[in-house]
Structure 1
Amino acid sequence: MTRRILVVDDSPSVRRMVAMTLKAAGYDVVEAGDGVEALEKVAGAEVHAVLTDQNMPRMDGLTFIREFRADASRHRIPIVFLSTESEGEIKERARAAGAIGWMVKPFDQAKLLSVMSRVVAA
């Protein structure tokens, strides 16, 4: 079964690079430019993991995670932050909201694939 990953980032170039990396590894990718668009795109759709940025227009990453997790059927879907921010406080807030991991931009493609392989297998 192909695993579907939701990639949420307001930077088209970051989304494109993440999507190309994941697609080359056999993942199906759904892209969104912010949390509002992401929620619209996954309404009624199955996703197996989420990569999200924090700083985005309309809905930031923390708010997106809370809204995404509000649907009980999504409580076990792994969410990983992919952000330029790396301070301890934001990481704690992300974990409290429901993120299970953190990657700092710019990302290493091999590390991204390693992380996604682990989280979708869990």
Structure 2
Amino acid sequence: MTRFYSETEVISRVDDLTQPRLGAFIRARIISPVTTPQGPAYRETDLARLQLLVDLAEAYELPDDSLTMVMSLIDQLNTARGDMRALMQAVAAEPDDVRGRITTTVRHIRIVHIDDDPENS
């Protein structure tokens, strides 16, 4: 079962998070609370994102628009990692001959792209 946290709980659990900063993250759409009968609520993943946001804002003095871009890139990377993990599981479930053809094709594509890369010239 998913645990939800109130705004007060979130602010007390995330180091250096204040109500104005949380409001700024919400307005910038970096964080989106879920709606519950008790009001806006936050998931465990939101707490982790908020801690990362606060740490980035503090350490690098990043404005909200930069934080939005950084979090978007992190989200894209996490999605790509999940897709790659699923693809690897799908390939692993295939027979040996299919896995062998996939491995050969991937190596060929990587070599072609390395040869096409101007930085390798």
Structure having the higher helix fraction is 2
Question: Of the two, which has the highest radius of gyration?
Answer: 2
Structure having the higher strand fraction is 1
- Same fold per superposition (TM over 0.5): no
TM-score by length of 1: 0.28
